[in-house]
Amino acid sequence: MRTWRPPGQTRTARWNHGLGGSTLRAPTGSSSLQLGHSNAALTQGNAPSGEDVLLVDADSAFRSFRSALKITIGAGGHALRPMMWMFVAILVTFLVTRTVTRLIRSGSGAGAGLGDLQVAGVHVHHQVFGILIIIATGIVLVSATPKGTALDVAAAIFGIGVSLSLDEFALWLHLQDVYWTEDGRKSVDAIFCVLAVTGALIGGADFLSGRVGTATWWSSASLLAVNLLLSVICLLKGKVPTGVVGTVIGVIAFAGAVRLAKPGSWWARHRYAHRPQRAARAAHRYGPRYQRRWNRLRDFVGGAPSRERPL
């Protein structure tokens, strides 16, 4: 029973639910009661024992209650659930895929029937299935524009395709099988970037807000332009993951833009050529110790590279 206390009253209101709908009995003397977004009518002539009765349509109230509980992200009002399903699908698919590929590489997956897929003597990489899933899901999203549960399912399937494709990001970047080489670690970086961006969107990040032309819209557009500029600086400084994530998290873009550039980056070659002290500081900061620290994290998640380079 839910307690309702109007001003100056201490009596409680009680719910009665029957075949004709739901009723909320209010204390005598009250004249109105507003309940969420439901359609309600307060009647006084039919109440037993001199009580006022508030008639509430149960179906309408339930739909309004569900609407009130709908979680949104950003100022654009995008539904949380599809993005959450996409995030979970990317994460779970990546972890499962890396577990399977590590079992195949170690040889322990043969007992479970795990192995490389060969079609007419050609090794078919799982990125192929990811690309096909992305294409198929994109066609469905554009042509059918699903909503509700169908949109959640489409978002999850799309996330599976994204994860399968980006898990071999290094392969379609280098156009050769570098999955278990040091270059293959770029695939793990790509997954980290996508998870960070989707996670930020779930947390409430938004690119633009407000109606076009309003002060709120111009303010958000200006902030987005600054974030993009800082992200470009991060990319020029050789900080690709920082630049990508910085497009939605401005603090990260700012931190990456003001700190030293990585040795060998465009920024270091053009800005540090006549600044030997700054170049030395950058070489020390991003030296072998820095690389080993991040490689340990990449290898823990995705598996360490093989000593020999695959053909």
- Per domain, the residue ranges of the chain are 14-69, 72-206
CA-nearest of 242, 241, 299, 288 to 263 is: 288
pLDDT in tens, the chain (311 residues): 444 444 444 444 444 444 444 444 444 444 444 444 444 444 444 544 554 444 545 555 545 544 444 444 444 444 568 999 999 999 999 999 999 999 999 888 877 888 888 888 888 999 999 999 999 999 999 999 999 999 999 999 999 999 999 999 999 999 999 999 999 999 999 999 999 999 988 877 777 787 888 888 899 899 899 999 999 999 999 999 999 999 888 899 999 999 999 999 999 999 998 999 999 999 999 999 999 999 999 999 999 998 655 44
This prediction's pTM: 0.69
Task: Report the pLDDT value the prediction gives residue 311, as an integer from 0 to 100.
Answer: 45
Tell how far CA 260 is from the center of its chain.
29
d(CA 3, CA 276): 73
Contact 167, 126 (CB under 8 A): yes
Residues 6+ positions from 128 with CB-CB distance below 8 Å: none
Residues 6+ positions from 268 with CB-CB distance below 8 Å: 237, 238, 261, 262, 279, 282
Task: Report the pLDDT value the prediction gives residue 61, as an integer from 0 to 100.
Answer: 53
